[in-house]
Amino acid sequence: MSLDYPKGISTDFDNSTQDDWTPNLLSPQLAAVYTLIACLAVLGNGMVITVMLLRRRVFSSFTNRLILHQSVIDCVAGVVFFLWRVVLQVIEKPMSFESNIYAQLMCRFINFDLFVWCMNVTSTYNLVIISLERFMATCHPVKHRNTCSSVKLKYAIGTAWAIGCIYSSHFAFLFEINEGYCQLTELETGLRVFQFSAEFTIEYLVPITILVCTYGRIIFTLTKKSANPMIGARNTTNKAKKNVLVTTILIGLMFVLCWTPIELLFLYSQLTGDWNTSLYDPFTSLVACNMLVNPVIYCFKYEKFRSELRKLVLKRCRRNRVEDGNTISMSAASSRMNANRMHVGESS
Protein backbone atom coordinates (compact mmCIF):
# COMPACT_ATOMS: atom_id res chain seq x y z
CA MET A 1 0.00 0.00 0.00
CA SER A 2 2.02 2.92 -1.24
CA LEU A 3 2.03 6.44 0.03
CA ASP A 4 2.33 7.40 -3.62
CA TYR A 5 -0.71 5.57 -4.93
CA PRO A 6 -2.80 8.65 -5.64
CA LYS A 7 0.07 10.08 -7.66
CA GLY A 8 1.97 6.89 -8.43
CA ILE A 9 -0.65 4.73 -10.09
CA SER A 10 0.24 6.55 -13.25
CA THR A 11 3.25 8.71 -12.52
CA ASP A 12 3.32 11.25 -15.29
CA PHE A 13 6.64 12.29 -16.71
CA ASP A 14 7.64 15.14 -18.91
CA ASN A 15 7.24 13.65 -22.38
CA SER A 16 8.17 16.74 -24.31
CA THR A 17 11.03 14.69 -25.74
CA GLN A 18 11.40 11.02 -26.46
CA ASP A 19 14.75 10.74 -24.69
CA ASP A 20 14.14 11.27 -21.01
CA TRP A 21 11.63 11.38 -18.22
CA THR A 22 11.35 14.00 -15.50
CA PRO A 23 9.23 13.12 -12.44
CA ASN A 24 6.76 15.60 -11.07
CA LEU A 25 8.61 17.85 -8.64
CA LEU A 26 7.67 18.00 -5.00
CA SER A 27 6.07 21.25 -3.87
CA PRO A 28 8.33 23.46 -1.69
CA GLN A 29 5.81 23.44 1.16
CA LEU A 30 5.55 19.65 1.27
CA ALA A 31 9.32 19.32 0.90
CA ALA A 32 9.77 21.60 3.92
CA VAL A 33 7.30 19.53 5.98
CA TYR A 34 8.99 16.26 5.03
CA THR A 35 12.43 17.71 5.80
CA LEU A 36 11.28 18.90 9.22
CA ILE A 37 9.77 15.51 10.04
CA ALA A 38 12.93 13.69 8.95
CA CYS A 39 15.21 16.00 10.94
CA LEU A 40 13.13 15.68 14.10
CA ALA A 41 13.02 11.88 13.70
CA VAL A 42 16.81 11.61 13.33
CA LEU A 43 17.61 14.07 16.14
CA GLY A 44 15.03 12.70 18.58
CA ASN A 45 15.83 9.04 18.06
CA GLY A 46 19.55 9.84 17.95
CA MET A 47 19.19 11.35 21.43
CA VAL A 48 17.45 8.19 22.68
CA ILE A 49 20.15 5.96 21.18
CA THR A 50 22.92 8.08 22.74
CA VAL A 51 21.38 8.03 26.23
CA MET A 52 20.69 4.30 26.19
CA LEU A 53 24.15 3.41 24.89
CA LEU A 54 25.91 5.65 27.41
CA ARG A 55 23.78 4.09 30.16
CA ARG A 56 23.86 0.51 28.94
CA ARG A 57 23.81 -0.96 32.44
CA VAL A 58 20.70 1.01 33.37
CA PHE A 59 18.88 0.10 30.14
CA SER A 60 19.98 -3.53 29.96
CA SER A 61 16.56 -5.16 30.32
CA PHE A 62 14.85 -7.02 27.48
CA THR A 63 12.24 -4.28 27.10
CA ASN A 64 14.77 -1.46 27.03
CA ARG A 65 16.81 -3.21 24.36
CA LEU A 66 13.69 -3.49 22.23
CA ILE A 67 13.02 0.21 22.84
CA LEU A 68 16.60 0.98 21.77
CA HIS A 69 16.06 -1.09 18.65
CA GLN A 70 12.86 0.85 17.98
CA SER A 71 14.81 4.10 18.08
CA VAL A 72 17.46 2.70 15.73
CA ILE A 73 14.76 1.69 13.24
CA ASP A 74 13.03 5.07 13.43
CA CYS A 75 16.33 6.95 13.10
CA VAL A 76 17.25 5.00 9.98
CA ALA A 77 13.68 5.44 8.75
CA GLY A 78 14.07 9.21 9.08
CA VAL A 79 17.16 9.16 6.86
CA VAL A 80 15.52 6.87 4.29
CA PHE A 81 12.35 8.98 4.34
CA PHE A 82 14.33 12.16 3.65
CA LEU A 83 16.29 10.57 0.80
CA TRP A 84 13.27 9.04 -0.93
CA ARG A 85 10.57 11.61 -0.25
CA VAL A 86 12.67 14.79 -0.56
CA VAL A 87 16.09 14.36 -2.19
CA LEU A 88 15.06 11.89 -4.90
CA GLN A 89 11.87 13.85 -5.60
CA VAL A 90 13.47 17.26 -6.14
CA ILE A 91 16.34 16.11 -8.36
CA GLU A 92 15.77 15.22 -11.97
CA LYS A 93 16.10 11.55 -12.82
CA PRO A 94 16.36 11.18 -16.61
CA MET A 95 15.31 7.78 -17.88
CA SER A 96 14.89 6.24 -21.26
CA PHE A 97 11.48 5.33 -22.58
CA GLU A 98 12.96 1.97 -23.49
CA SER A 99 12.20 -0.73 -20.98
CA ASN A 100 15.82 -1.46 -20.11
CA ILE A 101 17.18 -2.64 -16.77
CA TYR A 102 18.15 0.87 -15.60
CA ALA A 103 14.69 2.28 -16.31
CA GLN A 104 13.00 -0.68 -14.61
CA LEU A 105 15.14 -0.25 -11.48
CA MET A 106 14.37 3.46 -11.37
CA CYS A 107 10.64 2.77 -11.70
CA ARG A 108 10.47 -0.07 -9.19
CA PHE A 109 12.92 1.12 -6.52
CA ILE A 110 13.46 4.88 -6.85
CA ASN A 111 10.20 6.46 -8.00
CA PHE A 112 8.34 4.12 -5.69
CA ASP A 113 9.41 4.47 -2.04
CA LEU A 114 9.89 0.75 -1.43
CA PHE A 115 12.58 1.22 1.22
CA VAL A 116 10.44 3.71 3.12
CA TRP A 117 7.76 1.06 3.44
CA CYS A 118 10.34 -1.51 4.47
CA MET A 119 11.31 0.71 7.41
CA ASN A 120 7.66 1.54 8.22
CA VAL A 121 6.62 -2.10 8.47
CA THR A 122 9.79 -3.07 10.37
CA SER A 123 9.03 -0.33 12.90
CA THR A 124 5.42 -1.49 13.16
CA TYR A 125 6.32 -5.09 13.95
CA ASN A 126 8.96 -4.09 16.45
CA LEU A 127 6.13 -2.30 18.29
CA VAL A 128 4.13 -5.52 18.06
CA ILE A 129 7.04 -7.47 19.59
CA ILE A 130 7.29 -4.92 22.42
CA SER A 131 3.59 -5.35 23.16
CA LEU A 132 3.93 -9.15 23.20
CA GLU A 133 6.93 -8.90 25.53
CA ARG A 134 4.99 -6.65 27.91
CA PHE A 135 2.08 -9.09 27.79
CA MET A 136 4.36 -11.97 28.81
CA ALA A 137 6.03 -9.92 31.54
CA THR A 138 2.69 -8.86 33.07
CA CYS A 139 0.44 -11.87 32.54
CA HIS A 140 3.04 -14.67 32.62
CA PRO A 141 5.97 -13.27 34.65
CA VAL A 142 7.56 -16.62 35.56
CA LYS A 143 7.58 -17.84 31.97
CA HIS A 144 8.86 -14.44 30.87
CA ARG A 145 11.84 -14.63 33.25
CA ASN A 146 12.69 -18.14 32.14
CA THR A 147 12.45 -17.57 28.40
CA CYS A 148 13.75 -14.05 27.75
CA SER A 149 17.43 -14.06 26.84
CA SER A 150 19.90 -12.40 24.49
CA VAL A 151 19.29 -15.14 21.94
CA LYS A 152 15.53 -14.49 22.02
CA LEU A 153 16.25 -10.79 21.64
CA LYS A 154 18.22 -11.44 18.45
CA TYR A 155 15.37 -13.56 17.11
CA ALA A 156 12.87 -10.82 17.93
CA ILE A 157 14.94 -8.15 16.18
CA GLY A 158 15.53 -10.40 13.18
CA THR A 159 11.81 -11.19 12.94
CA ALA A 160 10.86 -7.50 12.72
CA TRP A 161 13.40 -6.88 9.94
CA ALA A 162 12.44 -10.04 8.08
CA ILE A 163 8.76 -9.09 8.02
CA GLY A 164 9.53 -5.57 6.83
CA CYS A 165 11.92 -6.67 4.07
CA ILE A 166 9.82 -9.57 2.81
CA TYR A 167 6.63 -7.54 2.81
CA SER A 168 8.07 -4.52 0.99
CA SER A 169 9.84 -6.64 -1.64
CA HIS A 170 6.54 -7.46 -3.34
CA PHE A 171 6.13 -3.80 -4.38
CA ALA A 172 9.02 -4.21 -6.82
CA PHE A 173 6.84 -6.54 -8.88
CA LEU A 174 3.79 -4.28 -8.89
CA PHE A 175 5.24 -1.51 -11.08
CA GLU A 176 6.48 -1.46 -14.65
CA ILE A 177 7.27 0.97 -17.45
CA ASN A 178 4.47 1.41 -19.93
CA GLU A 179 4.50 4.10 -22.66
CA GLY A 180 6.57 6.58 -20.69
CA TYR A 181 4.81 6.00 -17.38
CA CYS A 182 5.78 4.13 -14.25
CA GLN A 183 2.50 2.33 -13.73
CA LEU A 184 0.99 -0.41 -11.67
CA THR A 185 1.08 -3.71 -13.50
CA GLU A 186 -2.21 -4.94 -14.88
CA LEU A 187 -3.71 -7.53 -12.57
CA GLU A 188 -6.98 -9.39 -12.73
CA THR A 189 -9.68 -8.21 -10.37
CA GLY A 190 -9.27 -11.22 -8.11
CA LEU A 191 -5.51 -10.72 -7.78
CA ARG A 192 -5.96 -7.00 -7.19
CA VAL A 193 -8.45 -7.69 -4.38
CA PHE A 194 -6.08 -10.27 -2.89
CA GLN A 195 -3.18 -7.81 -3.08
CA PHE A 196 -5.14 -5.07 -1.33
CA SER A 197 -6.45 -7.46 1.33
CA ALA A 198 -2.96 -8.79 2.04
CA GLU A 199 -1.47 -5.30 2.28
CA PHE A 200 -4.22 -4.00 4.55
CA THR A 201 -3.97 -7.08 6.76
CA ILE A 202 -0.19 -7.07 7.15
CA GLU A 203 0.27 -3.30 7.44
CA TYR A 204 -2.62 -2.52 9.72
CA LEU A 205 -5.08 -5.22 10.70
CA VAL A 206 -2.63 -7.72 12.25
CA PRO A 207 -0.58 -5.11 14.17
CA ILE A 208 -3.58 -3.24 15.54
CA THR A 209 -5.32 -6.49 16.54
CA ILE A 210 -2.26 -7.67 18.47
CA LEU A 211 -1.76 -4.28 20.10
CA VAL A 212 -5.38 -4.03 21.21
CA CYS A 213 -5.53 -7.63 22.47
CA THR A 214 -2.22 -7.59 24.35
CA TYR A 215 -2.63 -4.22 26.04
CA GLY A 216 -6.31 -4.91 26.70
CA ARG A 217 -5.38 -8.17 28.41
CA ILE A 218 -2.61 -6.43 30.38
CA ILE A 219 -4.97 -3.73 31.65
CA PHE A 220 -7.58 -6.36 32.55
CA THR A 221 -4.99 -8.42 34.45
CA LEU A 222 -3.68 -5.45 36.40
CA THR A 223 -7.20 -4.30 37.25
CA LYS A 224 -8.15 -7.78 38.43
CA LYS A 225 -5.04 -8.08 40.61
CA SER A 226 -5.47 -4.66 42.16
CA ALA A 227 -9.13 -5.46 42.98
CA ASN A 228 -8.05 -8.51 45.01
CA PRO A 229 -6.18 -7.30 48.14
CA MET A 230 -4.34 -10.59 48.73
CA ILE A 231 -3.23 -11.03 45.13
CA GLY A 232 -2.61 -7.34 44.67
CA ALA A 233 -0.32 -7.12 47.67
CA ARG A 234 1.94 -9.85 46.26
CA ASN A 235 1.75 -9.42 42.50
CA THR A 236 0.96 -5.82 41.63
CA THR A 237 3.76 -4.48 39.45
CA ASN A 238 6.00 -1.86 41.01
CA LYS A 239 6.12 1.76 39.97
CA ALA A 240 8.99 1.32 37.50
CA LYS A 241 7.29 -1.54 35.67
CA LYS A 242 4.03 0.38 35.53
CA ASN A 243 5.88 3.33 34.06
CA VAL A 244 7.37 1.16 31.32
CA LEU A 245 3.93 -0.28 30.63
CA VAL A 246 2.32 3.16 30.35
CA THR A 247 5.11 4.24 28.00
CA THR A 248 4.68 1.27 25.68
CA ILE A 249 0.88 1.65 25.69
CA LEU A 250 1.25 5.28 24.61
CA ILE A 251 3.62 4.20 21.83
CA GLY A 252 1.04 1.69 20.60
CA LEU A 253 -1.71 4.32 20.83
CA MET A 254 0.33 6.75 18.72
CA PHE A 255 0.75 4.04 16.08
CA VAL A 256 -3.02 3.68 15.88
CA LEU A 257 -3.54 7.45 15.63
CA CYS A 258 -0.86 7.92 12.97
CA TRP A 259 -1.79 4.99 10.73
CA THR A 260 -5.57 4.77 10.94
CA PRO A 261 -6.43 7.82 8.77
CA ILE A 262 -4.31 6.81 5.76
CA GLU A 263 -5.42 3.18 5.96
CA LEU A 264 -9.10 4.15 6.03
CA LEU A 265 -8.57 6.62 3.19
CA PHE A 266 -6.80 3.96 1.16
CA LEU A 267 -9.65 1.53 1.83
CA TYR A 268 -12.15 4.15 0.68
CA SER A 269 -10.18 4.93 -2.48
CA GLN A 270 -9.72 1.26 -3.30
CA LEU A 271 -13.44 0.58 -3.01
CA THR A 272 -14.62 3.69 -4.85
CA GLY A 273 -11.77 4.20 -7.31
CA ASP A 274 -11.53 7.85 -6.28
CA TRP A 275 -7.83 8.68 -5.83
CA ASN A 276 -8.11 12.44 -6.35
CA THR A 277 -8.19 13.78 -2.82
CA SER A 278 -6.29 16.49 -0.98
CA LEU A 279 -6.11 14.37 2.19
CA TYR A 280 -3.24 12.15 1.05
CA ASP A 281 -0.45 14.61 1.76
CA PRO A 282 -1.50 15.43 5.35
CA PHE A 283 -2.32 11.78 6.10
CA THR A 284 1.01 10.51 4.72
CA SER A 285 2.75 13.19 6.76
CA LEU A 286 0.91 11.87 9.80
CA VAL A 287 2.26 8.37 9.11
CA ALA A 288 5.77 9.82 8.91
CA CYS A 289 5.23 11.53 12.28
CA ASN A 290 5.11 8.09 13.86
CA MET A 291 8.92 8.10 13.50
CA LEU A 292 9.38 11.07 15.82
CA VAL A 293 6.70 10.73 18.50
CA ASN A 294 8.43 7.99 20.52
CA PRO A 295 11.32 10.17 21.78
CA VAL A 296 8.73 12.74 22.91
CA ILE A 297 6.89 10.03 24.85
CA TYR A 298 10.14 8.87 26.48
CA CYS A 299 11.00 12.42 27.58
CA PHE A 300 7.59 13.07 29.13
CA LYS A 301 6.45 9.66 30.41
CA TYR A 302 9.42 7.30 30.79
CA GLU A 303 10.83 8.28 34.18
CA LYS A 304 14.01 6.21 33.95
CA PHE A 305 14.93 7.67 30.58
CA ARG A 306 14.12 11.20 31.74
CA SER A 307 16.23 10.71 34.85
CA GLU A 308 19.25 9.39 32.94
CA LEU A 309 18.97 12.15 30.35
CA ARG A 310 18.94 14.74 33.12
CA LYS A 311 22.02 13.16 34.72
CA LEU A 312 23.93 13.22 31.45
CA VAL A 313 23.06 16.85 30.80
CA LEU A 314 23.99 17.92 34.34
CA LYS A 315 27.21 15.91 34.20
CA ARG A 316 28.16 17.63 30.98
CA CYS A 317 27.38 21.05 32.44
CA ARG A 318 29.45 20.35 35.55
CA ARG A 319 32.36 19.13 33.42
CA ASN A 320 32.30 22.34 31.41
CA ARG A 321 32.29 24.40 34.61
CA VAL A 322 35.20 22.44 36.04
CA GLU A 323 37.19 22.79 32.83
CA ASP A 324 36.51 26.53 32.78
CA GLY A 325 37.53 26.79 36.44
CA ASN A 326 40.72 24.85 35.83
CA THR A 327 41.60 27.11 32.94
CA ILE A 328 41.21 30.23 35.09
CA SER A 329 43.17 28.70 37.94
CA MET A 330 46.05 27.71 35.64
CA SER A 331 46.15 31.21 34.16
CA ALA A 332 46.20 32.72 37.61
CA ALA A 333 48.88 30.30 38.72
CA SER A 334 51.01 31.14 35.68
CA SER A 335 50.73 34.85 36.42
CA ARG A 336 51.74 34.27 39.99
CA MET A 337 54.76 32.21 38.94
CA ASN A 338 55.93 34.93 36.56
CA ALA A 339 55.50 37.54 39.29
CA ASN A 340 57.53 35.43 41.71
CA ARG A 341 60.31 34.98 39.16
CA MET A 342 60.49 38.72 38.56
CA HIS A 343 60.57 39.31 42.32
CA VAL A 344 63.41 36.82 42.77
CA GLY A 345 65.37 38.42 39.91
CA GLU A 346 65.01 41.86 41.41
CA SER A 347 66.17 40.61 44.80
CA SER A 348 69.24 38.97 43.34
The predicted pLDDT at position 301 comes to 87
The predicted pLDDT at position 15 comes to 40
As separate numbers, helices (DSSP H) first and strands (DSSP E) second, the chain gives 15, 3
Share of the chain above pLDDT 90, in %: 32
How many angstroms separate the most distant Cα atoms in the chain?
106
What are the domain boundaries of the chain? 13-330
Task: Report pLDDT digits (tens) over 119-138.
Answer: 999 999 999 999 999 999 88
Task: Report pLDDT digits (tens) over 52-83.
Answer: 999 999 998 899 999 999 999 999 999 999 99
C-alpha 202/C-alpha 204 separation (Å) is 6
- CATH architecture for residues 13-330: Up-down Bundle (1.20)
- Residue 323, helix vs strand vs coil: helix
More confident residue, 249 or 98: 249
CA distances from 273 to 6, 27, 99, 171, 212 (A): 10, 25, 28, 20, 30
Q: Say if residue 227's pLDDT is above 70.
A: no
pLDDT, mean of residues 228-251: 70
Band (337; pLDDT cuts 50, 70, 90): low
C-alpha 134/C-alpha 229 separation (Å) is 23
More confident residue, 99 or 303: 303
Band (191; pLDDT cuts 50, 70, 90): confident
Q: Say if residue 325's pLDDT is above 60.
A: no
Length of the chain: 348
Band (238; pLDDT cuts 50, 70, 90): low
Query: What is the chain's mean pLDDT, rounded?
Result: 79
Least confident range of 65-69, 91-95, 137-141 = 91-95
Band (267; pLDDT cuts 50, 70, 90): confident
Band (268; pLDDT cuts 50, 70, 90): confident
Q: Say if residue 265's pLDDT is above 80.
A: yes
